[in-house]
Amino acid sequence: MRVGAGWTVALCGAALLLPHLAAADPIAGSSSQVGAWRVAAYTRGKTAVFDHCALYRVQSDGFGLAVGYTSRGIWSMGAEAPDWNLVANESYSGTIQLGSASYAFTGRAFGTRGMTFNVAPEIFGQLKSGLQLTVAANHKRYAVSLDGVEAAAQRARECVRQYAAAPGPPPPASQPSAPAALTPTQLVAAIQTLLARLGYDPGPINGEVGLKTNMAISAFQKSLGERGDGHPSEAVRAKLEQAMAERAATSAPVARPAPPPVAHPPPVVGSDAPSKRAVAGTGTGFYIAPDTVITNFHVVNGCSELRLRKNGGDQGAVRVLATSRADDLAALRTETAAKSFLKLRVGAPIKAAEPVLVFGYPLAEALSSAGNTTLGNVTALAGLRDDSRYLQISAAVQPGNSGGPAIDEAGRLMGVVVAKLNALAIARITGDIPQNVNFAIKVSTLVNFLDANKIGYEPADPAARELPVTQRAERAETASTQVQCYK
């Protein structure tokens, strides 16, 4: 299944709103009941143009779940609860429990009762009868039965085929024809390849949407004078292809695309000796318990073996305990207990301009094997496109810092380093090189990930006192480790 655009359906008299369109209207006569699920077709905004079909059900406690499906095969999700007490247009993070699997998500509220979800695409393939879907967000937890969802989803597909085939107003003469439909992985990989050829940095060309891909798309969109939402879509691909054609027409040089990824089995615990496989990349991790290391998902993704290093020496192999592709987080389990670990800043809101210290192992084989410490401040309380899962920080980071700790003045963990802004791509757009624009995943997002996967951690004292910078640096260094990815 593909996932992407927002959608609009009715739930308990409210409407789930698209981020960029007005409320949709149901198409008369399209509604049908499939078990406990209602399936109906909806128009694009207040027009007569078909947009999507949706299936939804409401539990007796007033909690409702809706799943939308478009003619391009894009699935999306949202929910409504009577006492969520949300703030319209604000972003919220939470978790979805589906059977034994947990997924972190971000949502955007369309009113006090409901929100649309930005969830990992694979969740839609896991919606099956006999399971219960539980949503935890804004300190509330609701559950809905998925019994009969397969039949309702099939009816939604039939609904799309029926109403998408109905004649509608012709497109404007200048509108380009839609490109051939791709699977979600193929679409994202195609966009990543085109971005790389145009000189943007989308990260690995692997068909998976990460922060780097979002940033690269946003930079490209802004180069066209658009708002720059950073979302992959068929329209983005068409514009990238047009930009490539224009560049080819002027014989401008293009960047060589990165090679496609190679599938690997999940990382496993190896022997005491390092693997003879080549090191494909390195990142940073840090301990939150004597046997638990946190890092980024993109640091461990596709690795056949993971090993830890400290001060140039091998510390042994580790195994993956849990991951979240959506939040770019991974938890690793070690067999050798660490002497020091970081406590998490829980219950003390992060404020703009707070000092931050970052530790990591950037530019492996070039800089010190003992790691590097940088200082800065919290420069914004959200990431790109106001993503509330992230902090923007001015502390310098480089390749290899990914997954490292960002700590506050009291030595408490406040974030996980994840990315830096592509200065060259921004310079091509603005004519100026941005300085020290880097991002960390908020500790609250990490806590949601840990709670969803039942991984233990120790909260820090909310009233902890400020430490000298040398003590903070020592605390970060002793709790950190380099993570090596072998392929």
Tell me whether residue 337 is exposed, middle or buried, using C-beta atoms within 10 angstroms of its C-beta: 0 to 12, 13 to 18, 19 or more. Answer: exposed
In angstroms, the CA 119 to CA 113 distance is 19
CATH T-level topology, domain 184-249: Muramoyl-pentapeptide Carboxypeptidase; domain 1 (1.10.101)
In angstroms, the CA 73 to CA 129 distance is 21
Confidence band, pLDDT 50/70/90 cuts, at residue 424: very low
By mean pLDDT, which of 315-319, 377-381, 384-388 is the weakest? 384-388
Q: Which residue has the tokens 């559950």?
A: 143
* Tokens encoding 362: 């950037």
Radius of gyration of the chain (CA): 23
Residue 14 has pLDDT above 90, yes or no: no
By mean pLDDT, which of 17-31, 135-149, 444-458 is the weakest? 17-31
Domain ranges of the chain: 2-164, 184-249, 263-487
Q: How far is CA 417 from the centre of its chain?
A: 14
2-164 and 263-487 share one fold: no
Q: If you average pLDDT over each of 79-88, 180-189, 402-411, 445-454, which comes out highest? A: 402-411
Residue 175 has pLDDT above 80, yes or no: no
CB atoms within 10 A of CB 472: 23
| Cβ neighbours of residue 449 closer than 8 Å, sequence gap 6 or more | 95, 104, 322, 324, 327, 329, 331, 455
Q: Which residue has the tokens 């290093």?
A: 309
Phi and psi (nearest 5°) for 79?
Answer: -155, 165
- Tally helices (H) and strands (E) across the chain: 8, 25
Q: What is the mean pLDDT of residues 317-321?
A: 94
Query: pLDDT at position 277, please?
Result: 67
Q: If you average pLDDT over each of 125-134, 218-227, 257-266, which comes out highest? A: 125-134
Q: Compute the Cα dihedral for 232, 235, 237, 240 and give only its sign.
A: negative
Distances (CA, A) of 326 to 330, 341, 416: 11, 25, 14
**391-411 residue pLDDT tens:** 999 988 888 899 999 999 999
Confidence band, pLDDT 50/70/90 cuts, at residue 167: low
Distances (CA, A) of 414 to 247, 299, 348: 43, 20, 10
CB atoms within 10 A of CB 335: 11
Tell me whether residue 10 is exposed, middle or buried, using C-beta atoms within 10 angstroms of its C-beta: 0 to 12, 13 to 18, 19 or more. Answer: buried
Residue 49 has pLDDT above 90, yes or no: no
| Cβ neighbours of residue 122 closer than 8 Å, sequence gap 6 or more | none
**437-471 residue pLDDT tens:** 789 999 999 998 999 899 999 999 988 899 999 99
Confidence band, pLDDT 50/70/90 cuts, at residue 276: low
Q: Compute the Cα dihedral for 466, 472, 476, 478 and give only its sign.
A: negative
**364-375 residue pLDDT tens:** 655 667 788 999
| Cβ neighbours of residue 5 closer than 8 Å, sequence gap 6 or more | 18, 70, 74, 76, 231, 233
CATH T-level topology, domain 263-487: Thrombin, subunit H (2.40.10)
In angstroms, the CA 321 to CA 330 distance is 8
Q: Decide which of 271 and 445 is more confident.
A: 445
Q: Is 2-164 assigned to CATH 2.40.50.100?
A: no
Nearest to 392 by CA among 341, 434, 440, 347: 440
Confidence band, pLDDT 50/70/90 cuts, at residue 345: very high
**Roughly what angle, to the nearest 10 degrees, separates helices 211-223 and 423-430?**
10
Confidence band, pLDDT 50/70/90 cuts, at residue 248: low
Q: Which residue has the tokens 């879907």?
A: 133
Confidence band, pLDDT 50/70/90 cuts, at residue 333: very high
Global pTM reads 0.48
- Partnered with residue 340 across adjacent β-strands are none
Tell me whether residue 184 is exposed, middle or buried, using C-beta atoms within 10 angstroms of its C-beta: 0 to 12, 13 to 18, 19 or more. Answer: buried
In angstroms, the CA 278 to CA 273 distance is 14
In angstroms, the CA 3 to CA 10 distance is 20
Confidence band, pLDDT 50/70/90 cuts, at residue 271: very low
